[in-house]
Chain A
């Protein structure tokens, strides 16, 4: 559960210079790159990739925003500028497969880039973890025990309703021998954390409650030890909510990748 990263993270540029090709490109995303809390998840995804011996690389400084928040905010110009620039980089490196650390990047690259000339096999990191568990390459051993802990999983909109991925993150939690509890509104009926559609970057409109408070109250009703997330924006909203409810001593908000890394002592 060390936050330190004792491994080298290879960039595409370095790999190509060595005449090598990665199996998979890890698309980190802006939150994963800059947001302190999300950086921890990013490092844990690298640790998992390293642990199972997958040859991967990141774009590093050649990565740029997918354009998702611009598109949801209505700026199609800026979105397509970003998309086409990124596609040029990705196609230039002959990328075939991408894993993202963020459902928004995942959705955008998977669904919206093909029409602009960028077709790749795109998976979210929870799907990667599910695949590794299914292949027997990843277990939950050698690390922190989650046995008997109560975990409730919050579906990110762009993973769940947006792309119908409900099972992969749950699969990653099932191997922990923990007690999984569902919130009243879950899966296709899951309630948004309040950050989507570019809300992350603005103050909410006038109302009687913040959306993340509504969501965290529901999560706390399950009296969990851990609230599991799969999205850096949800992570921010849920963590803020837990703090507002003064439950941060009792309840942890952790990404599926963090939980997996901890369970394996990475």
Chain B
């Protein structure tokens, strides 16, 4: 009875804490400007099903795709088991679904095989990160917390799967002994091999079985609450992020409505622009970006596919699209903490540009969209880079001098080079 009350209390507390933190994350995302991503709901749904649920963009790299798929399927399906754990925890039952008979055996057997798959997958991921030291997983922007974050996630998953298998092994042994409360249920294709390492006494076995059961469920609840602090948030955000992804051709950059009104007024004196909302052109800080950009930042799991295909990064430039997303999230969290402390409107004198992302980075971008194409969950680092450039050029007039020269040429001659508009058709005349 005490353990039931304890279980219910801990579960409710964990869910409450997660809701509290999730609300904060959503508030942070809402710091961003409005953007309408509600058109074509059917296409959006299909995109989400294909890209997030079906992981269609992962297959470009078959090895990590296969490993990730096993971990993903394992994660989703083994969570059916969590339902049973919840019911058992609340009502003090044991293997409440055991009555399903052969179906139950099939399910538990599948979970075990998947658990082994997840275990092996995570182990290989750890090896790739820490022993093989894949370049994509050891870039400068991953030093410190991001590297630890990745390892904590993988180790936790391995521990959770180990506890699950060990629990089953002890359970099966107790079932065979005919121990009280341990009904005969389940098939144990993987954990049967662990039985030999377990002690023979009923008391120790019950301690191990209970210990692993508690570790498994507490681990899951703790992991849930770790998400808001981690890159692992993608397991949830991948879904809204792909649903709200950009459906236009990648080459198309949005036209800024605020600018359209001003330009129209300039070209046509009779045009009266609608009341403009206050704000700057482009983005200096996270609140100038759109909520989609900010959701992108929370969704990023720092896999680095973007950076590994970025032509600037490949050739040794400072720009890394992954760092753009990480910086945006870090700055957003900082702004969020400021709001927690002092309420909205507090100015800490810092900004996304310069304090997080340097000019050198934004000017190294070729806008080639390789990063956008590479992202398995449709994150768009280029949109952020473009908005930072817009701020630098339109608010500050601070572009590299050759860019200013090019802009001057377009303004004066209608071409990015210094040629006379009168000579535009010379190519047809020169023989």
A-side residues, CB < 8 A to B, are 4-6, 9, 11, 28, 30, 32-35, 39, 42-43, 46, 58, 60-61, 63-65, 67, 69-78, 80-82, 84-85, 107, 111-112, 115-116, 157-158, 161-164, 185, 188-192, 194-211, 213-215
User: Judging by beta carbons under 8 Å apart, are A43 and B427 in contact?
Assistant: yes
**Contact check: which of A33, A35, A116 meets B424 at CB < 8 Å?**
A33
Contacts of A203 in B (CB 8 A): 400, 402
Question: How distant is the Cα of A227 from the Cα of B266 in the complex, in angstroms?
Answer: 45
A-B pairs with the 4 shortest C-beta distances? Answer: A162-B251, A197-B367, A74-B389, A208-B316
Q: Which residues of A contact B278 (CB under 8 A)?
A: none
Task: Tell me the complex Cα distance, A213–B373, Å.
Answer: 22
Asked if A72 and B367 sit within 8 Å, CB to CB, the answer is yes
Q: Is the CB of B316 within 8 A of A194?
A: no
Q: What's the Cα separation between A35 and B318 when bound, in Å?
A: 31
Assess whether B276 is interfacial by the CB under 8 Å rule.
Answer: no
Quick check: B281 and A61 within 8 Å, CB to CB? no
Give chain A residues whose Cβ lies under 8 Å from the Cβ of B407: 70, 73, 75, 78
Is B134 positioned at the interface, with any CB of A under 8 Å from its CB? no
Asked if B427 and A32 make an inter-chain contact with CB atoms under 8 angstroms apart, the answer reads yes
Complex CA distance for A107 and B248, rounded to whole angstroms: 12
Contacts of B259 in A (CB 8 A): 76-77, 80
- What residues of A have a CB within 8 angstroms of the CB of B393 in the complex? 73-75
Chain A nearest CB, measured from B230 CB (Å): 29
How many A-B pairs have beta carbons closer than 8 Å: the answer is 222
Report the separation of the CA atoms of residues A73 and B262 in the bound assembly, to the nearest whole angstrom.
Answer: 19
Q: Smallest Cβ distance from B269 to chain A, in angstroms?
A: 14
Interface: B206 (CB within 8 A): no
| B405-430, CB < 8 A from A | 405-407, 410-411, 414-417, 419, 421-428, 430
Contacts of B405 in A (CB 8 A): 201
CB nearest to B60 among chain A residues: A189
User: For the complex, what is the distance from the CA of A233 to the CA of B360, rounded to whole Å?
Assistant: 22
Residues of B within 8 A of A60 (CB): 424-425, 428
B residues in contact with A64, CB < 8 Å = 414-415, 421
**CB distance B402 to A74 under 8 Å?**
no
B365 interface residue per 8 A CB criterion: yes
List 17 A-B pairs, Cβ < 8 Å: A60-B425, A61-B421, A63-B414, A74-B282, A77-B259, A80-B263, A107-B249, A112-B255, A116-B255, A161-B250, A162-B249, A162-B251, A197-B368, A198-B406, A202-B363, A204-B364, A205-B363
